[in-house]
Structure 1
Amino acid sequence: MNIENSFTETVIQNFGFPASTELGVKVPKKTITDNTSLTSNDKQLIKDVLKSLVWRFTMKPETVNIPVFEGGVHQYKEIAVLHVKVKSNSKTKQLCKLLHQQIPYPTLLFVDWEQEVAISLADKLVNQADSTKLTIEHQYDTGWLDKKNQQTFYSEFLSDLRFDHCSVLSLYDFYTSVIQKLNFLEAAKTTGIYSDKAEEDLTPLLAELNGLETQLTQIRNKIKKETQMNTKMRLNVEARKIKLAIEEIKRQIA
């Protein structure tokens, strides 16, 4: 397999996947688009955004000494690591969601565009109506990263994104520890500090923070357009309450 000199390739190599897990199989786009469950919009998304797809590594008991995990709604028998090249940096989250849905394993995606990389993972739960299918509970995305990111926390995240910094208790613990690193990065975008000391799952707090920031933006837009003074005052009170809630969450994730 030819290894290209790209920032994405540097990040993948720095992760340090064991040689025993290397697969290097190119996945034809037709393999995905032939799926009868895809809508016409799904197929158009693949056509417009996806350039190429390579299944770089496969993590399972036959390739790495990490136990499988099966418990309740979680099923981690194998982790697929894919190198996803895209034609542009738009609609990549939608493409990642589609790939997570189509691949029947927990999936780690390294998305490659020019000299930038985005990393995507997703919690997948066993579908209670059909145990052969997995349902996405939550998707995690880093956003685009490149060599020009000046903030220290970006380089600290990339330094922490290594195989030997992940849990090997089980494939579930391994995958969850990578998700945790993405959450640490997301928290650092708010606090300015990459901290890997948090023991609790930051996902609920980060989701709440995102929702509150969206609400605050909406209220501020309403205030700009509002002409009634009493309504403006009420909206300002709401905005202050939301800002206080945002500050409290920031304090918790710091």
Structure 2
Amino acid sequence: MKSQALIAAFDLPESSLVNQRVPRKLLLENGAPTSADKRSINEGIEELIWIAALKPVTVGVPEFRDESHEYLEIAVLLLTLRDGAKTTRLVELVHRAIPYPVLLLTQQGAPLSLSVAHKRWSQSEAGKTVLEGDIVSVAWSREVDADIMADFRNSLALGSQPRTNLHALYQGWLDSMVALNAARVTGNFTLAENAEYAAARRDALRECGVLQEEIGRLRTLAAKERQIPRQVELNLELKRIDAELATTKQKL
């Protein structure tokens, strides 16, 4: 999918569109804690475009404030990376550098991804925001069933999201992305019915990733092992973790 097609899927109102280039200086001053990060920004980023600013006045969704959060705006950005760029790190740096929660589209050649990350006030530095929890991301892949991708794309429209406040709106997009990641395991795209199920699904996906990594590690060890008793031990451990993975997948 091209970035413009993904942007269109959000069905954002004209009043929210910005379409302005973000200078690298902003990232260098606010999102680059090390000299290596500065080099990655200068060498890896082709351009960063501010696509839209989602505010109460532009999308009709109220702001959100509590003791830990202040969601006055959601920034929709398009990050274009050069070949060889450190994608994961640069995505993180952009999320950290922008003071608002970011809906970040990232393209590097043909591949296209989407990422979000909640933000809260820093407990150690007044007036600064930090990431809250993990960055959640999805990538377009031809390996994923076309119907699943179509369902996901249809779920992104602004009018389909919660409109209680900007935090709920942002969470709605995050939940759609988690639903896609779950569908890659289950083969079925379904949105969580409530916040509790959405949180449980995120935990289950995280656990699936941990278990799959452990299965890969054990299979590598088993393939190299020459002692039969140790091979038996590793295979039994593999069966146990496979069973645990199957149980965890049922929570998706």
Superposition TM-score, scaled by structure 1 size: 0.90
Q: For each residue in 1:34-93, what CA deviation from the matched residue of structure 2 results, as whole angstroms up to 9, or x when unmatched?
A: 448531111122133211011111112232211111123232121111011111375322
**Structure 1 residues without counterparts, runs of 5 or longer:** 1-5
Runs of 4+ in 1 over 6 A off after TM superposition: none
> Aligned residue for 2:186?
191
Q: After superposition, where does 1:168-247 map in structure 2 within 5 Å?
A: 168-199=163-194, 200=197, 201=199, 202-247=201-246
* 1:158 match: secondary structure: helix
Distance 1:36 1:172, change over 3 A: closer
Provide structure 2 residue ranges, at least 5 long, that are not aligned to the other structure.
none
Alpha carbons of 1:203 and 1:89: their partners in 2 closer, same or farther (altered >3 Å)?
A: farther
In 1, are the aligned partners of 2:31 and 2:97 still within 8 Å (CA)? no
CA contact (8 A) 2:46 2:80 kept: yes
Distance 2:241 2:76 in 1: 39
1:13 and 2:32 aligned: no
- How much identity, in percent, do the aligned residues show? 27
**Separation of aligned partners in 1, 2:203 and 2:113:** 22
Query: Which has the larger displacement, 107-116 or 182-191?
Result: 107-116
Contact 1:187 1:194 in 2 (8 A): yes
**Distance in 1 of aligned mates of 2:159 and 2:3:** 19
Within 2, Cα distance between the matches of 1:36 and 1:119?
19
RMSD value, Cα: 2.0
Choose which of 33, 38, 41 in structure 2 pairs with 1:38. 33
**Cα 1:93–1:125 shift into 2, 3 Å:** same
Per-residue displacement from partner, 1:78-120 (whole Å, max 9, x unpaired)?
Answer: 1111011111375322211110011111111011234442101
Match of 1:152 in 2: 147
CA distance in 2, matches of 1:204, 1:27: 34
Contact 2:31/2:96, CA 8 A, preserved across alignment: no
Whether 1:128 aligns to 2:127 is no
Partner of 2:173, secondary structure, is helix
**Deviation at residue 220 of structure 1 after TM alignment:** 0.9
Further displaced range: 167-176 or 218-227: 218-227
After TM superposition, give the deviation of residue 130 of structure 1 in Å.
Answer: 2.4
Residue 150 of structure 1: how far off its partner (Å): 4.5
Count of aligned pairs between the two proteins: 247
Q: Which among 135, 138, 141 is matched to residue 142 of structure 1? A: 138
Matched position secondary structure for 1:83: strand
Distance 1:178 1:228, change over 3 A: same
Letter in 2 for 1:219: L
User: Is 2:97 the partner of 1:102?
Assistant: yes
Q: Which of 18, 21, 27 is residue 22 of structure 2 equivalent to?
A: 27
Which whole-Å CA distance do the structure 1 matches of 2:74 and 2:27 have between them? 18
TM-score, normalisation: structure 2 = 0.90
Q: CA deviation at 1:225?
A: 1.2
SS of residue in 1 equivalent to 2:9: helix
Output the CA distance in 1 between the equivalents of 2:242 and 2:137. 25
Q: State yes or no: 1:166 paired with 2:161.
A: yes
Contact 2:78 / 2:104 at 8 angstroms: preserved in 1? yes
